[in-house]
Amino acid sequence: MMGDFFKGLLVMIWRVMTDQPDPKAEFLSVFPGGLQPLVSAVLSVSPIILVFATLFALTTWLERKGLGRIQNRLGPNRVGPYGLFQPIADGLKMLTKEDIVPRSADKVVHFLAPIAFLVPTLLAYAVLPYGRNLVPVNFDAGILFFFAVGASTELSIFMAGWSSRNKYSLLGAMRAIAQMISYEIPLILSSVTVIMIAGSLSLVEIVEQQGGYQFGWLPGWFVFTPWGLAGFVIFLIASLAESNRSPFDIPEAESELIAGHLTEYSGFKYALFFLAEYLGMFAVSGLAATLFLGGWRAPSPFLEWVPSYVWFLSKLVSLVCLFIWIRGTVPRLRVDQLLNFAWKFMLPMSLLNLLAAAAWHFTATWNFIGAGPGRWLLCAAMIAVPYVLLGRALTGGKKWTRRTYRFAE
């Protein structure tokens, strides 16, 4: 029995590493039929939690070191070599800090809010295709499930602000919800363009639609189209706002309403909010890679031998590094600038990008345009012209001057 167990385990690991289909079949055959669904679920959930929890720890270290270099300082350098053990020290600190709950708070809701924030974030990982045969749950409407569970995070933020019985927490929660709702609309609309072209709500099918190479070397990813590039940029900007990342980190900014909805949280509850925000950033990065960057597909034909999950994780980590770079270089927006940008620029651009995607689809069969350069120019013009006009209207015709930075004498 034990020999079959370890043999099935080794075979499963080998099949996962070599992108073979149905890698769990032989391992599950060792268990009774009634236990197989439970064991299968554990085998799907455990690697996701392990990999992304480790990625969370490494990202916090990488972000602090990266921001330190950008700001001409060292970052963590005391705990372990190059400060690598700093995430462990931070985790122990959060576990041992006192959990302070306001006397007048709704203690049940106050306790449930961080859990209600973390659980939907973890559920979103269930439908992401991590590799050629690595999909925990292959829903026909996977992208719909992703956005459905992600939309419940607004409720948890309101729970945190309302249960604290603190006017600053409540105001901060309402501002955070206003921001998330404002940017969730262009986030979803930018994804609709991919659904229109792929003709499916399945994330696995969307990745399949991005197969092949144009001109023999350019990947068939949606980002290499005019509407795909515009949708990718809109998706990334909206993802920054949804994840409360700079320059959209107003809900928790130190210069704003204290710590927003987190004012009355401390210890492990605060750490759960912190963890859920990073996991949410990883989830939307994985979705961006799936929708626009070909998911687990290789960027070049001669790199197809590399395991598919390596490409997916590489794209996800690259987007996370981009988020860190943006945090270190772009200044924070005011709340009025944030909302104006969402409703006066992002929303119209995402709607116009839908028209560009429709034109890309229907003009492919027109004789006088076809699938050649004419279609590219038409769709690019449908995006570029409104971009310039909306940008000028949003800035009010202001002339920007170069800012010169000088060290203090």
pLDDT digits (tens, 9 = 90+) for 270-285: 899 989 999 999 999 9
208, 330: one domain: yes
Instruction: Judge whether 92 lies within some domain.
Output: no
Q: Which of left, alpha, beta for 318 (phi over 0: left; psi -120 to 50: alpha)?
A: alpha
Range of the domain at 186: 97-394
CA distance 254 to 248: 13
Instruction: Judge whether 368 lies within some domain.
Output: yes
Question: Does the pLDDT at position 259 exceed 70?
Answer: no
pLDDT band at 258 (very low <50, low <70, confident <90, very high): low
In the chain, the number of structural domains is 2
Q: In the prediction, which pLDDT does 363 show? A: 79
Question: Does the pLDDT at position 347 exceed 90?
Answer: yes
171, 264: one domain: yes
Query: Is the whole-model pTM more than 0.85?
Result: yes
239, 138: one domain: yes
Instruction: Judge whether 168 lies within some domain.
Output: yes
103, 248: one domain: yes
Instruction: Judge whether 21 lies within some domain.
Output: yes
Comparing 196-200, 252-256, 395-399, which segment has the lowest mean pLDDT? 252-256
Q: In the prediction, which pLDDT does 353 show? A: 95
CA distance 248 to 1: 55
Question: Does the pLDDT at position 214 exceed 90?
Answer: no
37, 120: one domain: no
The closest of 68, 121, 63 to 320, measured between CA atoms, is: 63
Instruction: Judge whether 52 lies within some domain.
Output: no
10, 105: one domain: no
Q: In the prediction, which pLDDT does 369 show? A: 56
31, 114: one domain: no
Instruction: Judge whether 264 lies within some domain.
Output: yes
103, 239: one domain: yes
Question: Does the pLDDT at position 192 exceed 90?
Answer: yes
Q: In the prediction, which pLDDT does 5 show? A: 67
110, 196: one domain: yes
312, 213: one domain: yes
Instruction: Judge whether 400 lies within some domain.
Output: no
Mean pLDDT score, 119-128: 92
Instruction: Judge whether 58 lies within some domain.
Output: no
Chain centroid offset of residue 87 CA:
21
pLDDT band at 60 (very low <50, low <70, confident <90, very high): very high
pLDDT band at 395 (very low <50, low <70, confident <90, very high): confident
DSSP bridge partners of 213: 219
> At which residue do the structure tokens 């800035």 appear?
395
Asked if residue 122 lies in contact with residue 153, where contact means CB atoms within 8 angstroms, the answer is: no
pLDDT band at 33 (very low <50, low <70, confident <90, very high): confident
122, 219: one domain: yes
Average model confidence (pLDDT) for the chain? 87
